[in-house]
């Protein structure tokens, strides 16, 4: 399942037709084509508070994807404290995706076991549960209770309640990162800009403790 999740735990895009973990699932998707061709009406670059340069709106992804000007992932080798802080902040934002997938799989038990249906019906089932998930996010306040979250005073992670009722697992990336085009230098520059931001005007008080626990 390839999915794009917004900051409110809603699925904006779901592709359930590709094999799980396939490294080419993203590049073969309509989502990739839309992002790469700038067809999704994403707002233009804007300056962040305290920075002179403008930075684009980006998608956050795990390390199984290739860095792109419109897709940010962790620094592979966080050799400085600034890079460690960026990785921490990216992971913190990416937790929204983990919560969305975890809550959906916990709420719809059909997703927790082998689905003995034709592939086309499985695809429809996953899309249907994604739509129902979005409906419950919007209409049922209790649905999102028990999210996995961080205690920023103690700088500890509080496991989500959904983990008690779900077989959801965070899967390691399958295979090598997807190799795309030659825009990596531009993407690295953009990531450096975000790294600078989260270590300056965009910093939060507890981030140093999070990357350097006592």
Query: Mind listing the pLDDT tens digit for each residue in 159-195?
Result: 888 887 766 555 444 444 444 455 688 999 999 999 9
- pLDDT the model gives residue 170: 55
Higher pLDDT, 112 or 203: 203
Looking at the chain, the whole-number percentage of residues with pLDDT higher than 90 is 60
- pLDDT the model gives residue 171: 46
> What is d(CA 154, CA 140) in angstroms, rounded to the nearest whole number?
30
Q: What is the mean pLDDT of residues 106-111?
A: 88
CB neighbour list of residue 105: distance below 8 Å, 6 or more residues apart: 111, 112, 162, 166, 167, 168
List the domain range (segments joined by +) for residue 141. 2-39+48-211
Per residue in 110-147, pLDDT (tens digit) is 888 888 888 889 999 999 999 999 999 999 989 998 89
- pLDDT the model gives residue 172: 45
For the chain, the domain total comes to 1
> What is d(CA 107, CA 183) in angstroms, rounded to the nearest whole number?
40
- pLDDT the model gives residue 29: 92
Fill in the DSSP letter of residue 112: G
Nearest to 75 by CA among 66, 86, 65: 86
Give residue for tokens 């359930």.
16
> What is d(CA 11, CA 37) in angstroms, rounded to the nearest whole number?
21
Per residue in 70-89, pLDDT (tens digit) is 999 999 999 999 999 999 99
> What is d(CA 62, CA 101) in angstroms, rounded to the nearest whole number?
14
- pLDDT the model gives residue 25: 83
- Encode burial over 164-178: b for 16+ CB neighbours within 10 A, e otherwise: ebbebeeeeeeeeeb
- Taking all residues of the chain, what is their mean pLDDT, rounded to a whole number? 88
> What is d(CA 125, CA 104) in angstroms, rounded to the nearest whole number?
12
Per residue in 6-29, pLDDT (tens digit) is 999 999 999 988 765 555 788 889
> What is d(CA 201, CA 27) in angstroms, rounded to the nearest whole number?
35
Per residue in 28-52, pLDDT (tens digit) is 899 999 999 999 999 999 999 888 8
Regarding pTM above 0.85, the answer is: yes
């Amino acid at each position: 399942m390839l999915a794009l999740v917004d900051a409110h735990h809603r699925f904006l895009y779901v592709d359930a037709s590709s094999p799980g973990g396939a490294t080419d699932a993203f590049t073969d998707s309509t989502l990739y084509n839309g992002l790469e061709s700038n067809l999704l009406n994403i707002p233009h670059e804007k300056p962040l508070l305290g920075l002179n340069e403008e930075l684009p709106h980006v998608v956050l992804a795990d390390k199984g994807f290739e860095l792109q000007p419109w897709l940010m992932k962790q620094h592979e080798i966080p050799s400085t404290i600034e890079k460690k802080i960026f990785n921490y902040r990216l992971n913190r934002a990416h937790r929204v995706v983990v919560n969305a997938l975890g809550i959906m799989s916990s709420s719809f038990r059909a997703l927790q076991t082998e689905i003995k249906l034709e592939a086309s019906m499985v695809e429809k089932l996953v899309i249907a549960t994604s739509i129902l998930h979005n409906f419950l996010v919007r209409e049922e306040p209790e649905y999102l209770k028990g999210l996995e979250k961080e205690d920023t005073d103690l700088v500890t992670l509080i496991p989500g309640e959904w983990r008690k009722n779900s077989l959801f697992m965070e899967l390691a990336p399958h295979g090598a990162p997807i190799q795309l085009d030659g825009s990596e230098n531009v993407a690295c520059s953009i990531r450096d800009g975000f790294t600078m931001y989260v270590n300056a005007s965009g910093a939060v008080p507890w981030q140093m403790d999070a990357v350097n626990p006592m």
